[in-house]
Amino acid sequence: MESSLWAFLVSVPAEKQSVAKIGILLVNDNRLAKIEGLKEGLERLGYNEGHNITYQVLNGQNQISELSTIAKRLITDRPDVLVAAGGIEAQTLKELTATMENPIPVVFMGTLSPMSIGLVSDPFHPEGSLTGLNNYHLELTPKRLELLHRLLPEIRHVAVLGDTRVPYFQQTQFNIQETAKELSLTLGMYTVSTHDEVAKAFHQMSKDKIEGVILMPVFFLETSTKQVVELAIQNKLPVFGVYPSDTEEGCLASYGTSYKAQGAQTAQLVHKIIRGQRPKDLPIETPEELVFSVNLRTAQQLGVHLTPNVLSFADQVI
């Protein structure tokens, strides 16, 4: 009786939570896993869909030219936080919110180096109303080359498959060239922006006696993994991808953070903004988890033998 009275007297009533509105923009279904991760992450932080959080997801279905129109619709509904599934979505939302008097905070769920693609200039003090996760995929490109080299030490000629439309391509070339030089590898740069160009690029690689391929983390290749894998198997070329899903689709290996993990980590930033923090006070984060994934079935198809010491480093082996 006494203790219950005491408990009553000192108990603090639960804070009444308002319902947070999250507007999510994604360019295609590939990035749905990020939304899944985001929702799971927010659920762990106490957000239950329909109860204290609602999501409005607008999908561009690969129509990049329509993304801006879709984004405007999203903004019209004035969500508390705008979430960009990737770099293209983040660029679109940044442009649209830049002119707003009270810009809606934008959080991106993993993009390539946000400094390189012009989202922010200082990752520790992001200007404007943007913050998010640097998925580190650009920075890891030299590391992928190293891992490919260590998995297949006999390889000497490596192709880098990229997209010249991506602004950081030149910078990446410099970084990867440095690494290649240290590892005594020669690199061939191949850029593609259509499926035909992919086929042509592989044809050219055969001519150039390319022994392995590194995929650059670009949007077009994310949507063309299946074609790349088919061509690689046909040409007996080991391909080192970016996402664990690339390995699942048939790449020999990949090194990076998964879509889902990116979404889950971004949930923390979304949570902070819901609680009233400003994007400029939330430095850009880097992934907490990197996954080295190897596909032994592909290795078998290619007829290559992977070094056991590097294989033992793999987090996922298919």
Partner 1 sequence: MEQASFPWLMRIKGRVLIFGIAMSIFPLLFLGLANFNATRLYLQERIQQQNFERATGLAEQISEFVVKKAESLSIVTYTNASTLVGQDQIAREMILAKLLRQESYFEAIEVADSNFNVIGQIDRRNVILPQKSDFQLKHRDLTEDASFSVSPVFFSNDGRPQFYLTVGIQDPLTRKNIGYLQAKTDLKGMVTKITNLRIGQAGYIYLTDEQGELIGHTDFSHVLRQENVRQNPDVQAFLAGQRPSPQGIDYTNPDGLQVIGLFAPVENLSWGVFIEQPIREAYQPIYEFSRKLLGILLVAIALVTLISIMFGLKLTRPIEKLEGEVRRIILTGDLKSEIPKQSQDEIGRLVQSFNQLLTATNRDLLAEVKEGRFRQDLYYRLNGLILEVPPLRERREDIFPLVDFYLQKFRSPGPERYLYSLSPETQKLLLNYDFPGNVRELAHLIQRGVTLANGQVIFPVDLWPNSHLEQKLIDDGIPLYHQTGSINGYPTLEDIERDYILETLKTANGNRAQAAKMLGISVRNLYRKLDQYGR
Contact between residue 144 and residue 293 where contact means Cβ atoms under 8 Å apart:
no
Closest approach of partner 1 to the CB of residue 171, in Å: 15
Closest approach of partner 1 to the CB of residue 143, in Å: 5
Pairwise CA distance, residues 162 & 215, whole Å: 7
Q: Based on CB atoms, which residue is closest to partner 1, 60 or 132?
A: 132
DSSP 285: B
Q: Based on CB atoms, which residue is closest to partner 1, 46 or 167?
A: 46
Where in the chain does DSSP place strands (E)?
20-26, 53-59, 81-84, 106-111, 130-134, 157-162, 186-191, 212-215, 239-241, 253-256, 291-294, 316-317
CB atoms within 10 A of CB 9: 7
Q: Based on CB atoms, which residue is closest to partner 1, 38 or 74?
A: 38
Q: Which residues contact 290 (CB under 8 A, 6 or more apart)?
A: 136, 140, 255, 256, 257
Closest approach of partner 1 to the CB of residue 288, in Å: 6
Closest approach of partner 1 to the CB of residue 293, in Å: 12
Q: Based on CB atoms, which residue is closest to partner 1, 136 or 220?
A: 136
Q: Based on CB atoms, which residue is closest to partner 1, 72 or 305?
A: 305
Closest approach of partner 1 to the CB of residue 313, in Å: 4
The residues of the shown chain that bind partner 1, judged by CB under 8 A, are 8-13, 15, 123-125, 134, 136, 139-140, 142-143, 145-146, 179, 182-183, 268, 272, 277, 281-286, 288-290, 307-310, 312-315
CB atoms within 10 A of CB 158: 25
